[in-house]
Structure 1
């Protein structure tokens, strides 16, 4: 059976000190451990992160899908989680973080920067009618 995309990224992350292949080669990644809001099942989401002050911001784009990704709902229901944070250069740190959705002003500021510097996210925005949430992972 073929390995799914997220499983491959998680495996590469753990085998290579936080470094993964395409489409994330050289980019800072995080493995966010979260608990299913309904199921209570422990899960891991591999995500690209962006620095904003002391926080690591992740994008709930779901590649422009019509609905928010499950991990977003899970983090909003259970915001205190563990994250394996990699800098893209071989350093990984495991920390407890608090997840919170950015408010409108902060979201607009950070989202503009993300889109200006990472064109794929602008493509995702064009594909959906929803406002794509940004989540700050703030170390506790």
Structure 2
């Protein structure tokens, strides 16, 4: 595999997510940063099985200089693939609006999650419904910029 193929970023296979990502990238974040009234970012992880770069669009919240994500997967019993990828390799790339940066991802501790969950639930109230719908402990992810 050549270096160009190795660095290719594969967008979400879900049609509406792929369209959102394309609009976000083509407009340098001018279109897509706010999606149905909530802020979104683009997260690129390295696939834990394929080693390929995978990009998806996610709702995010803020806590100081950190970005917060919820690995809800719509309340399903399984963690989303992006979350499994960042657990395997926490070095990720992020685009927030026009800004792009490297970050380290980690799952919030139970104590941190108790403090940070309300920020995310206020931003997107469906997270509380998703949490009630599944027996899975839905992870809250903290992205910390790498300086």
Counterpart mapping for 1:6-21 below 5 A? 6-18=17-29, 19-20=31-32
Q: Quote how far apart the aligned CAs of 1:121 are.
A: 1.0
Q: Quote how far apart the aligned CAs of 1:16 are.
A: 3.2
Q: Per-residue displacement from partner, 1:28-74 (whole Å, max 9, x unpaired)?
A: 21111111112112110111110012210011000111111010010
* 4+ residue segments displaced more than 4 Å: none
Q: Per-residue displacement from partner, 1:68-126 (whole Å, max 9, x unpaired)?
A: 1010010011111211112xxxxx20001000111111111111232244211111112
In the alignment of these two chains, the number of paired residues is: 132
Unaligned segments of structure 2, at least 5 residues: 1-13
Distance (Å, rounded) in 1 between the aligned partners of 2:90 and 2:39: 21
Counterpart mapping for 1:1-140 below 5 A? 4-18=15-29, 19-20=31-32, 24-86=35-97, 92-140=98-146
- Using the size of structure 2 for normalisation, the TM-score is 0.82
